[in-house]
Structure 1
């Protein structure tokens, strides 16, 4: 495959305006063929189409690969999706011409295969052979998944569970359901089946449910919903030796990138040193993506400008990732805010010029960003526009201790008052008690002991 293409062409610019989506015009640092070799199954074509849609430099090459892979299978909607995008940005490519003959032939074959598998499954159910029924549902689920009918694939795989006879069958069902649910982004189903896999591990059958597969799937579910802190801790638990065992969902490189960025955004210096850099398992993943290790090391060593510079140089690559694209700007903003706060901690005040030099782009100022950080409570400081300073708010430790003592005393007084009141109510016989019926149940209508005494005296 050829290297980088020329600058964005007019069809790509037209495509960008038409869809209102941002096209990445910077050249990526990865080689497309090497990158895509890390994946198998449907996630491979998903990532190719994503790169094809959003990359100005790799768009045509990625979509051509996606079209070829779709035609090598039997997923007609996937082929039409890739071919339509390629027709928009690369109309002169041979793969951009829609192959209607292949579509018609594949459609007939898919319908015939669906009818055959359903008929076989019906026969197995008539014979009441559990193993045959289980395998029939598995074959049907794989067929539906291959043709892109994910809802029916999920149903077919789910029906396998009632015919399981050994633990391995339960593991296979959960893996099938996880892979389909990941593509559907049904993270509730992913989490549910991860719990089932964990139960297999707890029963002493770890070889049936490899730990990296379970941890990576769970971490991806946490990451995609924006739970970065939990995702970081889960990614860091991933044991070494993942290899291609998770290639249908995630790659070892992704574990390093997702886990490293989440950790950098949510952990302090000590946690990054102990839980990330000194983590022997995760260090094997960081070796695949040294830029993440460098960024974390720079942050730990208070070299914040270098940390942000490293991350910014890979921003274009991360925008082309199918999961990172939606989260990368939020993660970068969290990391940037942490760097600014840590930079300012040793000073009682520092000049805005020094902050601009360290963190702002050439020709830009940080005033608005600092105002937002102060407003959100991330930075305990104020801006002195007259002298051009960022000044830390002075706090008096004695005042803090006195306020805390007054708060504790006030809480103690309220609790003591409540206890005294409850004691007096009890001593006066006014405590509300449920009335027990002869049947042994309790009445829903409350009576006080005073009411009971009055009714017994005949005064009512």
Structure 2
């Protein structure tokens, strides 16, 4: 029923991959605690990601992935592959469950046969309702054996068989859910747009689930401002009551991380305060990871050293997260630039060496960063190479007065020109009116 090539994990499980990140330094971190609120393929993919990219946690990550896969899927090919990889951490021994593999393959084949028979009956009766039930079962089976792309294709190929608008909406939301498991953010957006086109007013539970998907897709696409705006519309109690967290794909901790990091990357000090720190709704998410609350407060208080230390700690955890991990470098750069803007704001000139010490860097690295920020227009200043100071551009009051005078003069000339054209127009109209009156009198 499944092969390694078809599996959700499949050939991606390469034990020889280079390990990229150390164990997270986040306070009270444990891999079991991190993964406990995820379920099914979401838990499997996250545990596998840890196994691939963190040597200190590799054995535990692969073990958790294997156990969850055995408990909640029919993906025997991925199970065999995980067991093979785990032998590298157990001295060549394996506890592969051959009976489970055999029974699971038989169960999957039996269910596939039943579904095919159900499809045949539906075609003979020309019943769209029965066809949709068989399609739903088949898609669920494909997901259980790890054939996610085939499940999406199956849904796309059967859109015309939907008996009503509601069924079309359910079909598209299922495609969005599978895309969410695969971290395909553009596909999620596309499928959600299709849901809204056929279900303009979806049920509350579906509306909440779609809101979370959109927020996660915005973050995954590096649309930081959009992600923050969407996250601030979420409510912990609504997501809990509508069962969004029960799906085990996105947790309240995830939303706190997305909102904190995207907010620090997208906005300056004042907006971070008004949008995140003072938001009672977002604070309920922050309760799941207090370190984010402390980071936001340190940023607002201009406590640069503490803010950077907390940011490093949080990002060390985010590096093992398959959603945030690919964007850690970009997030750090954006947040660091915002800290630099915040640092230089009160000064007309300042020592680059001193700024580097405060921001846990060295003078050469800080100077390169400042050059880039000046080129991008984020800072209006110049670097004095002789003194090692950053000197901000300040306008001379006389230059400002001269510039304003020139603007007034230009506006006056424009008004004069327009008035001249207006007079000319009225004179021409007067001549034309007089000639028409003479013709009428004749």
TM-score, length basis structure 2 = 0.79
Residue of structure 2 equivalent to 1:61:
60
Question: Displacement, 1:283?
Answer: 1.6
Compare 268-277 and 217-226 and name the one that shifted more: 268-277
Q: Are 2:228 and 1:232 aligned? A: yes
- The equivalences for 1:108-147 within 5 A come to 108-147=106-145
Residue of structure 1 equivalent to 2:291:
291
Flag the 1:321–1:404 CA change in 2: closer, same or farther, 3 A.
Answer: farther
Residue of structure 2 equivalent to 1:50:
49
Q: Are 2:203 and 1:206 aligned? A: yes
Question: Displacement, 1:266?
Answer: 0.6
- Distance in 1, matches of 2:123 and 2:404, equals 71
Flag the 1:38–1:382 CA change in 2: closer, same or farther, 3 A.
Answer: same
- The equivalences for 1:48-447 within 5 A come to 48-72=47-71, 73-88=73-88, 90-92=89-91, 94-95=93-94, 103=101, 106-158=104-156, 159=158, 162-165=161-164, 167=166, 169-170=167-168, 172-198=170-196, 202-203=200-201, 206-211=203-208, 213-241=209-237, 242-243=239-240, 245-246=244-245, 247-361=247-361, 366-396=366-396, 399=399, 409=410
Flag the 1:143–1:387 CA change in 2: closer, same or farther, 3 A.
Answer: same
- Distance in 1, matches of 2:106 and 2:22, equals 39
Residue 179 of structure 1 contacts residue 249 of structure 1 at CA under 8 Å; is this kept in 2? no
Relative contact order (C-alpha < 8 Å, sep 6+): which is higher? 2
Question: Displacement, 1:19?
Answer: 2.7
TM-score, length basis structure 1 = 0.76
- Distance in 2, matches of 1:342 and 1:303, equals 11
Structure having the higher helix fraction is 2
CA RMSD in angstroms comes to: 3.3
Residue of structure 1 equivalent to 2:440:
none
- Distance in 2, matches of 1:276 and 1:306, equals 19
Flag the 1:114–1:401 CA change in 2: closer, same or farther, 3 A.
Answer: farther
Residue of structure 2 equivalent to 1:429:
none
- Unpaired stretches in structure 2, ≥5 consecutive residues: 1-13, 422-442
Residue of structure 1 equivalent to 2:32:
33
Aligned pairs, number: 398
